Amino acid sequence: MSPYAHITGWGTSIPEKVVTNEEIAKMVDTTDDWIRERTGIRERRVASRDETTASLATDAALKALEVANLRPEDLDLIIVSSSSPEYIFPATACLVQDRIGASKAGAFDLLAACTGFIYALNVGAQTIRSGMNKNVLVIGSETLSRFTNWKDRGTCILFGDGAGAFVLQASEEPGGVLSSVLRSDGSGENLLSIPAGGSFMPASSETVKDGHHYIQMNGREVFRFATRVMAQATREAAEAAQVPLEEIQLIIPHQANRRIIEAAARGLDISLDRFIINVEHYGNTSTASIPIATCEAIDQGRLKSGDRIVFVGFGAGLTWGASVVQWSGPILPKRRIPPPFSYRIWARIRSLLLRLVRRMEGLIWGSHYPDGW
Ligand code: COA
């Protein structure tokens, strides 16, 4: 029988710096009232100069491993989902692999914009269901503030920075990720994008002058699309898992806009009390929003082992999707594992040694090249 993929560890990394609506109103023509009324957002977090998508992802990853009682070297695979990766390449997942010292893990990035965490969760879960992997780390991490035009009131009010991570583990016990619905519609490519810096519009002084390296969005159209797909995807995922909506304890939606979540609740005829909503404090943290909201639900005692929940989201692409999950919690017995900072130190030493060995090999092999190479 194929093993089940359980969520057994979780963690977040939230930048300390808070930017309130009042502060944004000093930069662009807007007001706290307008932002709160149209989005439900009061404040968002913004990464400091030292914080990057990889550093936030690394923090969240180490916390999730600690909850799962797992060591970095136990990991088989790391998937980072991000709309604001460290580089175009290498993958941010490889940087996390190096920084936590996950010596046996494959690592890659997955891009499905704000739906990315749901995509990554399902890809990770399927590698467990197929028997290929036992322990998978899935991370959503963002520093969207670096891609935000702080002079564009249509977008700068919305986004925030942060990261969240889940550990997925194989177990014969039924539960974990029960279903997934992943959808896309690329005809909406122009509704939400960062146009410059890719192969279509390579970065140049012109693209920077014209601000094409910033997020561009048709807010009204994205809003219409989101309100259409959220309820529909939730229903489809529940049907696929054969779990009636009444038996779903909690819905944890992508946190983009309170009005979009309210529309989904109306569309499903489910009380808002069964939704986790924290967009007020973080804004839209894209791929990080679902794991951050999940961790808050756990901290508030709203999510317990055995609960059946739905993750549902939407984003650029266009993409959308949902998953039904039976919540598990740690499955390994509590054991003494070193604290996260010791992994960091060991991983740093390991990384420096690997770089040194590569250098030495370069010197040795360099002298062995035949003449003329
Ligand atoms: N402050 C004050 N006025 C603003 C404003 C701001 N920050 N942003 C836009 N406006 C103005 C517009 O210029 C427009 O003025 P006009 O009527 O004179 O042309 C008016 O407010 C209404 O604009 P509209 O775009 O229709 O507002 P809205 O109610 O749709 O709210 C968003 C705008 C962006 C908040 C909303 O469309 C939204 O949340 N969309 C989804 C975006 C999203 O979730 N993106 C991420 C997907 S993962």
Query: Looking at the domain assignment, is residue 352 inside a domain?
Result: no
Q: Ligand 1 within 6 A of 152 CB?
A: no
Q: Ligand 1 within 6 A of 157 CB?
A: yes
Per-residue pLDDT of 298-342, as tens digits, reads: 999 999 999 999 999 999 999 999 999 999 999 888 877 788 888
Q: Ligand 1 within 6 A of 284 CB?
A: yes
**Is 284 among the catalytic positions?**
yes
Query: Looking at the domain assignment, is residue 94 inside a domain?
Result: yes
Query: Looking at the domain assignment, is residue 338 inside a domain?
Result: no
Domain CATH number, residue 203: 3.40.47.10
Residue 185 DSSP label: -
Per-residue pLDDT of 34-88, as tens digits, reads: 999 999 999 999 999 999 999 999 999 999 999 999 999 999 999 999 999 999 9
Q: Cα(37) to centroid of ligand 1, in Å?
A: 11
Q: Ligand 1 within 6 A of 127 CB?
A: no
Query: Looking at the domain assignment, is residue 19 inside a domain?
Result: yes
Query: Looking at the domain assignment, is residue 369 inside a domain?
Result: no
**Cα angle: 344, vertex 350, 352; to 5 degrees:** 105
Q: Cα(349) to centroid of ligand 1, in Å?
A: 49
Q: Which residue is closest in CA terms to ligand 1's atom 2? A: 30
Query: Looking at the domain assignment, is residue 347 inside a domain?
Result: no
| pLDDT > 70? residue 369 | no
Number of domains in the chain: 1
Residue 309 DSSP label: E
Query: Looking at the domain assignment, is residue 57 inside a domain?
Result: yes
**Residue 252 CA, distance from chain mean position:** 13
Helices (H) and strands (E) in the chain, counts: 11, 13
Domain that includes residue 115, residue range: 4-326
One-letter amino acid of 260: I
Query: Looking at the domain assignment, is residue 137 inside a domain?
Result: yes
Q: Which residue is closest in CA terms to ligand 1's atom 11? A: 154
pLDDT confidence bin for 250, thresholds 50/70/90: very high
Q: Cα(38) to centroid of ligand 1, in Å?
A: 7
Question: Which one of the listed residues 6, 21, 69, 114 is annotated catalytic?
Answer: 114
What SS3 class is residue 314? strand
Q: How far apart are CA 331 and CA 334, in angstroms?
A: 9
